[in-house]
Amino acid sequence: MTARRAFRRVVVAAAVIPAALLVGHTPAQAVELPPACQAALTEAQNKFPVQQFTVPDKVKTAILDELAALNETDQKALTETACAAWNRWATANGAAVARDLDTRYQNTDGLACTKFTTAAMGALKKYAPTIPAETRGLETVAKKVWSNAMQTLSAEATNATCRQSYNSVKAGW
């Protein structure tokens, strides 16, 4: 795995979205990443054990495309200090975030796109204020990625409900 792919996964992790995006993925050979960032990747599935919450494939693709397009300035937000702070927070809060995502997802009617946006935005708004200050650089990048991905999805969605759903959350949290 390239450092760029590993970086993409860590940035997603910094935004709480990772709980779902990183489940089932394991990084290999992310040697260019700081150790704490590598740990964020390898431990994400255990820290955010979602059961029901699902990220639609189109959303995963849009987010990963945005992450791949990050400039060097944005990539510099990935520091040992930021990732270590994220890891401490995820260890302490990951199970609660996963339960929240699952509950919101289960309690939302409609298409997968609506269930995803409702659950993700609800959890992001609830938990983002509790993420440590040391991760603010990661959060800034995550907000940029989220906004751009939701803009793309709202423009490209063929289903009117999904278009509206993505459009309604593109401003972020």
**Which tens digit of pLDDT belongs to each residue from 77-105?**
889 999 999 999 999 999 999 999 999 99
In order, the DSSP letters of 27-94 are ----TTS-HHHHHHHHTHHHHS--SS----HHHHHHHHHHHHT--HHHHTT--HHHHHHHHHHHHHHH
Q: pLDDT at position 164, please?
A: 98
For the stretch 103-120, pLDDT in tens is: 999 999 999 999 999 999
- Is the confidence at residue 7, as pLDDT, over 90? no
Domain range summary for the chain, segments of one domain joined by +: 3-169
Whole-model pTM: value is 0.79
Tens digit of each residue's pLDDT (9 = 90 or more) over 20-67: 344 333 333 333 668 898 888 788 878 999 999 999 999 999 988 988
pLDDT at 3 over 90: no
